[in-house]
A and B are shown apart, each in its own frame.
Chain A
Amino acid sequence: MLRIKNLEAGYGPLKVLRKVSLHIDPGEIVTVIGANGAGKTTLLKTVSGLLAPRGGEILFERNTIRKVSAERIVSLGCSLVPEGRQLFAPMTVRENLILGACVQYRRRRHGEVTEDMDRVFGLFPRLREREDQLAGTLSGGEQQMLAIGRALLSRPRMLLLDEPSMGLAPRMVREIFTHIMHLRKEFGLTILLVEQNARGALGVADRGYVLETGRMVLQGPSGELLSNKNVQRAYLGWSSEESA
């Protein structure tokens, strides 16, 4: 579905991604875990076309999207749920969702938008209850649901999720991860999930990659990464004595 080879990206003199390669097969949930500053957000920004790569290849469904614009990538079926939600706070829940459907509007499929909105409300009933409320007044978890819902309205086949659990209460974090599993089951989505919450992310992902200072240092099925001592120490907060 998505194949990245030797991706290089950065800001000014700063090299952030140093030849990163990864792939996601259709229907997979794959996570990239790493510390703050490892390059996770840069990776998603580059894939979604918000940042131009300096080298490497990005293939989405076998076609290169390296020089494709961000809005075109969305209409190809790959949507980003950005870090920190990036909602339009003074607009209502409904208006935020409609903004996500602008690709559909351009295709003049107005009727389908209402249908899609119903599906999002089906997934997140709490958003229906708050349909006319301003996005800025929602709780963190609700805002995250809205950000995901907005991305779903572009009818993606693949979703890029940037730290969906950030800043949420522990109970809400669990709920968001459960929703991610539902997204695959009910919307047939392929998901690339970037997370600092390694335990939660590896709990829902099929496979994972570990990104350290812009380099992939480890990868494998989630179970394998969870039992890797380095991952445990660096990302799961275990000391080796505890895990022994």
Chain B
Amino acid sequence: MFWEAERECMNREELEQLQFERLQSTLNRIYSHVPFYRKKFDALGILPEDIGSLADFSRLPFTAKEDLRKSYPYGFFAVPLREVVRIHASSGTTGAATVVGYTQNDVRIWSNLTARILTMGGVTKDDVVQIAFGYGLFTGGFGLHYGAERIGASVIPASSGNTLRQIKIMMDFKTTALISTPSYAMLVAETIREQGIPLAALSLKYGLFGAEPWSERTRREIQENLGITATDNYGLSEIIGPGVSGECREQNGLHINEDHFLVEVVDPETLRPMPEGETGELVITSLTKEAFPMIRYRTRDLTSLLPGHCPCGRTLRRMARVRERTDDMLIVKGVNVFPSQIESILFEIEGTEPHYQIVIEREGALDEVTVLVEVGETIFFDQMRRQRDMMENIRKRLAQELGISVEVKLVERKTIARTEGKAQRVIDNRRL
């Protein structure tokens, strides 16, 4: 199922012509309307017309989150405010908020792109879509809402929070598709189990999850516990919100809406392009945005461009699921550690629950890392020996993978606070 087959299955040569035409007009517009870019271009001695191919593109300057913060609130808008019909702000997960705007056309294109993502995940006009993303400054709720309406699905703007009520709505309104963060889907699954609600009482078929990293194991858990096909989707407010890329039901990477976004993967240190298949920082240029165009925006998300064709028939290239951000990286005892490394080890170990938290303290000059891991009840009722063996096992595996020793604490289910938005995996109590 395609939402816009003529675009999603476009011949690459035609796609590149389209991308190039759109890039040229974006450059012409930002050069005359966004002072930040005009100054940067002038300083580098580049005119928009010097970019004569997609290859020349690497001469353009990057845009960093810091640049957006310095231009708070409207510095990057390429149209006067009276042409802006919507304003959102980034969730500010990691620092001050940034403000983004949309013209009427931007909103229309955005809806169309989220409609593509929803269609990829299985949603049709016959579905009842429950959106459990926050509605507000965060782009998740509204972005997918408009796309689902565009498809003609019945949309329930449930917003986030109040899990029991969400589940009641899900049962009574016969929700067939759930849209939320993966951690919220886990919470819903857990609550359903606790309440003793049988899966048969639900009509769920699809789940589209995004806004935070999640693993294959979490996907399996969600799929089993909710009886759905779970797909990942990716986006960020600085670029458009949800709608940048999404998985089709092959679940083998996220198709990028390349006719609207030009993507590169670069080495975060040297900023040189990474070869296909290798992990680096995702850099995105918008090709059609009117109000808030972005040139080579450094997302700080780590991913790779996947080689090969997808059996679904889309020619849009795929990116690997974003598992971590450049700024997730923790430096512990002088060693670089990504939370996702810890997660993938925990998930290989039998008996652990997909909830964990990493706590870092500083004792004198030494960093102490403790990983809290939830385990199933059986392990607590069982002999102490098994608990000890398990802890020992996790400790050893983590030390092997990370090259540093960490403490492991097994905790009962539901000890770690559940969130309705993005999960908090790392608590850094060091005063650095």
Using a CB–CB cutoff of 8 Å, the interface residues on chain A facing chain B are: 3, 5-6, 18-19, 21-23, 25, 209-210, 212, 215-220, 224, 227-230, 240, 244
Smallest CB gap from B20: residue in A: A21
State which of B29, B48, B82, B108 has its C-beta within 8 Å of the C-beta of A244. B82
Asked whether B29 lies within 8 Å of A218 as measured between CB atoms, the reply is yes
Q: A5-B17, A229-B83 are in contact. Are A220 and B105 (CB under 8 A)?
A: yes
Asked whether B28 lies within 8 Å of A216 as measured between CB atoms, the reply is yes
Q: Mark B7-32, 1 if CB is under 8 A from A, else 0.
A: 00000001001101110110011001
State which of B21, B32, B82, B109 has its C-beta within 8 Å of the C-beta of A21. B21
* Chain A residues, Cβ within 8 Å of B18: 23
* Chain B residues, Cβ within 8 Å of A6: 52-53
Q: A23-B17, A240-B82 are in contact. Are A227 and B25 (CB under 8 A)?
A: no
19 contacts between A and B (CB under 8 A): A5-B17, A5-B20, A6-B52, A19-B24, A19-B49, A19-B52, A21-B17, A21-B21, A23-B17, A23-B18, A212-B28, A217-B28, A217-B29, A219-B21, A219-B22, A224-B108, A224-B109, A229-B82, A229-B103
Identify the interface centre among A25, A215, A216, A240: most chain B CB within 10 Å of its CB.
A215
* Chain A residues, Cβ within 8 Å of B109: 224
Determine the main DSSP class of B at the interface with A: helix
Query: In the complex, what distance in Å separates the CA atom of A121 from the CA atom of B139?
Result: 57
Query: In the complex, what distance in Å separates the CA atom of A218 from the CA atom of B25?
Result: 6
Determine the main DSSP class of A at the interface with B: strand
Decide yes or no whether B301 CB sits under 8 A from chain A.
no
Asked whether B82 lies within 8 Å of A228 as measured between CB atoms, the reply is no
- Distance in Å: Cβ of B344 to nearest Cβ of chain A: 43
- Distance in Å: Cβ of A229 to nearest Cβ of chain B: 4
- Distance in Å: Cβ of A119 to nearest Cβ of chain B: 31
Asked whether B24 lies within 8 Å of A240 as measured between CB atoms, the reply is no
Size of B's binding interface in residues, CB under 8 A: 25
Query: In the complex, what distance in Å separates the CA atom of A18 from the CA atom of B49?
Result: 7
Smallest CB gap from B14: residue in A: A23
Using a CB–CB cutoff of 8 Å, the interface residues on chain B facing chain A are: 14, 17-18, 20-22, 24-25, 28-29, 32, 48-49, 52-53, 79, 82-83, 103-105, 108-109, 288, 290
The 5 closest A-B pairs by CB, nearest first: A229-B83, A19-B49, A215-B28, A21-B21, A18-B49
Asked whether A229 lies within 8 Å of B79 as measured between CB atoms, the reply is yes
* Chain A residues, Cβ within 8 Å of B24: 19, 21, 215-216
Q: A228-B103, A228-B290 are in contact. Are A216 and B21 (CB under 8 A)?
A: yes
Asked whether A224 lies within 8 Å of B49 as measured between CB atoms, the reply is no
- Distance in Å: Cβ of A206 to nearest Cβ of chain B: 12
- Distance in Å: Cβ of A100 to nearest Cβ of chain B: 31
Asked whether A224 lies within 8 Å of B105 as measured between CB atoms, the reply is yes
- Distance in Å: Cβ of B287 to nearest Cβ of chain A: 10
Asked whether B25 lies within 8 Å of A217 as measured between CB atoms, the reply is yes
Query: In the complex, what distance in Å separates the CA atom of A230 from the CA atom of B78?
Result: 11
State which of A18, A216, A227 has its C-beta within 8 Å of the C-beta of B104. A227
Query: In the complex, what distance in Å separates the CA atom of A99 from the CA atom of B254?
Result: 57
* Chain A residues, Cβ within 8 Å of B48: 215
- Distance in Å: Cβ of B200 to nearest Cβ of chain A: 45
* Chain A residues, Cβ within 8 Å of B49: 18-19, 215
Query: In the complex, what distance in Å separates the CA atom of A224 from the CA atom of B17?
Result: 20
State which of A21, A220, A244 has its C-beta within 8 Å of the C-beta of B288. A220
State which of B21, B25, B28 has its C-beta within 8 Å of the C-beta of A23. B21
Identify the interface centre among A3, A25, A216: most chain B CB within 10 Å of its CB.
A216
* Chain A residues, Cβ within 8 Å of B290: 228
- Distance in Å: Cβ of A226 to nearest Cβ of chain B: 10
Query: In the complex, what distance in Å separates the CA atom of A6 from the CA atom of B27?
Result: 14
- Distance in Å: Cβ of A186 to nearest Cβ of chain B: 24
Smallest CB gap from B290: residue in A: A228
Smallest CB gap from B16: residue in A: A5
* Chain A residues, Cβ within 8 Å of B105: 220, 224, 227-228
* Chain A residues, Cβ within 8 Å of B20: 5, 21
* Chain B residues, Cβ within 8 Å of A212: 28
Query: In the complex, what distance in Å separates the CA atom of A244 from the CA atom of B84?
Result: 11
Identify the interface centre among B18, B105, B288: most chain A CB within 10 Å of its CB.
B105
* Chain B residues, Cβ within 8 Å of A228: 103, 105, 290
Query: In the complex, what distance in Å separates the CA atom of A219 from the CA atom of B82?
Result: 21
* Chain B residues, Cβ within 8 Å of A216: 21, 24-25, 28
Query: In the complex, what distance in Å separates the CA atom of A21 from the CA atom of B25?
Result: 9
* Chain B residues, Cβ within 8 Å of A229: 79, 82-83, 103-104
Smallest CB gap from A17: residue in B: B49
Q: A19-B52, A217-B28 are in contact. Are A230 and B79 (CB under 8 A)?
A: yes
* Chain B residues, Cβ within 8 Å of A215: 24-25, 28, 48-49
Query: In the complex, what distance in Å separates the CA atom of A244 from the CA atom of B85?
Result: 10
